[in-house]
Amino acid sequence: MSRPLIYAANWKMNHGPGAARSFMARFLAVTEPAPERALWFFPPAVSLTPVAEAASARPDIRVGAQNVHWEPKGAFTGEVSIPMVQEAGARVVLTGHSERRHLFGETDEQVARKAVAVLKAGLQPLACLGETLAEREGGRTEHAILRQLDPLLDKVPPADWARLVLAYEPVWAIGTGRNATPDDAAQVHELIRFTVGRRGVPGRVPILYGGSVNAGNVLALLARPELDGVLVGGASLDADGWAELVGLG
Ligand code: PEP
C-alpha cells in the first residue's frame, strides 16, 4: 500500500505499566520503522509514560490517551486532563469511542467539546463515529454518522481542521468478531469524506476503520483506498500478533 497508513492500537482497560513495558520491549525488538506507516498506541492512562518512554527512539510511534476531560483541572474525581496526559507523553487522544458513548453515556456534544479542547492544547484528536446495529438495520446509518459528525464540525475551529483524524467504527463490529465488509466500510468513509469536504475542510482528513480488524481481514480492508488505516482493539493486545498485523500492509 503506497499511501500513508495509520495503525492504531486501542488497549482499552488492558496492560498496566508492567505489562505495557513488556509489550513494548517485545514489539520494538520485532519491528522497525517503515516509510508511510505510523503506529499509534492508546494504552490506559497509567501506562502512557512507560509506552512513551519505550517508544522515544521510534519516530514512527505516537502515543495517545483513551479519554480526557475537557477542563484542564478541577474537582472532577476520577478524570484525567489534557495537560496531564500530555505531560505523560500523549500526542493524540481518542474521542467518542463507542464504549465511552454507550457504556459511559458521553453525548455528541461532550465528545465535540473534548475534541475542541484537545486541538486547542496542540494535540490531535482521533474522533470516533459509528452507528449501532439497530441504526444500521433500520436504514439510519447515514443519519447516525451525520448526527455525530455535525457537532464536531460545528465546534472545531476551521484553523484546526487540518489536524483532525477520524475513525469509522460501527458499534456492532467492535469486539464482536464481525467486521464491516470492505465495501460497507468504504461506503461510510465516502459519506464522511463527502460531508467533511462539503463543510469546507481542506485536504484529505485521514479516516481509519475500526471494528474486529485482525491479521486475516486487514489487507482486504486496506485494499480500499477510502481507508487511511485501522483502529484495532482485541488484535492489538499481543505484541507478536500486533507486529504481524502492522507488517502485513
Ligand atoms: C476498538 O476498541 O476500537 C475496536 C475496534 O475493538 P476491536 O478491534 O476489538 O473490535
Whether the per-residue pLDDT at 249 is higher than 80: the answer is: no
**Burial readout 144-183 (b: 16 or more C-beta within 10 A, e: otherwise):** bbeebbebbbebbeeebbeebbbbbbbbbbbeeeebbebe
230 Cβ below 6 A of ligand 1:
no
Q: Could you say which of 97, 131, 135, 189 is catalytic?
A: 97
For residue 234, how far is its CA from the centre of ligand 1 (angstroms)?
6
What does the block give as the cell for 105? 453515556
**pLDDT tens-digit readout, 5-29:** 999 999 999 999 999 999 999 999 9
Model pLDDT, residue 159: 83
For residue 232, how far is its CA from the centre of ligand 1 (angstroms)?
5
Q: Could you say which of 131, 169, 189, 226 is catalytic?
A: 169
Name 126's Cβ contacts closer than 8 Å, sequence gap at least 6.
8, 40, 64, 92, 93, 94, 95, 165, 166, 167, 208, 231
What does the block give as the cell for 101? 458513548
Q: Give the pLDDT mean for 39-56.
A: 98
> 164 in the Ramachandran plot: left (φ > 0), alpha (ψ -120 to 50) or beta?
beta
pTM over 0.75: yes
Closest ligand 1 atom to Cα of 97: 3
Model pLDDT, residue 61: 98
231 Cβ below 6 A of ligand 1:
yes
Mean pLDDT of the chain: 95
**pLDDT tens-digit readout, 132-165:** 999 999 999 999 999 999 999 999 888 888 899 9
Question: What is the DSSP secondary-structure string of 91-145?
Answer: SEEEES-HHHHHHS---HHHHHHHHHHHHHTT-EEEEEE---HHHHHTT-HHHHH
Cα 191 to Cα 194: distance, rounded to the nearest angstrom: 5
Closest ligand 1 atom to Cα of 98: 3
Q: Are 98 and 128 in contact (CB under 8 A)?
A: yes
Cα 3 to Cα 225: distance, rounded to the nearest angstrom: 8
Model pLDDT, residue 72: 97
Spell out the SS3 assignment of 4-24. Answer: CEEEEEECCCCCCHHHHHHHH
**Which amino acid, residue 227?**
L
Q: Give the pLDDT mean for 210-214.
A: 96
For residue 200, how far is its CA from the centre of ligand 1 (angstroms)?
30
Looking at ligand 1, which residue's alpha carbon is closest to its atom 4? 233
Active-site residue 169, yes or no? yes
The pLDDT > 90 percentage for the chain reads 89
**pLDDT tens-digit readout, 56-66:** 999 999 999 99
Model pLDDT, residue 140: 96
Q: Give the pLDDT mean for 220-231.
A: 97
Model pLDDT, residue 1: 60
Whether the per-residue pLDDT at 217 is higher than 80: the answer is: yes
The pLDDT > 70 percentage for the chain reads 99
Model pLDDT, residue 218: 97
Backbone angles phi, psi at 234, to 5 degrees: -50, -45
Whether the per-residue pLDDT at 71 is higher than 90: the answer is: yes
Q: Give the pLDDT mean for 122-129.
A: 97
**pLDDT tens-digit readout, 98-119:** 999 999 999 999 999 999 999 9
Q: Give the pLDDT mean for 159-188.
A: 92
For residue 165, how far is its CA from the centre of ligand 1 (angstroms)?
17
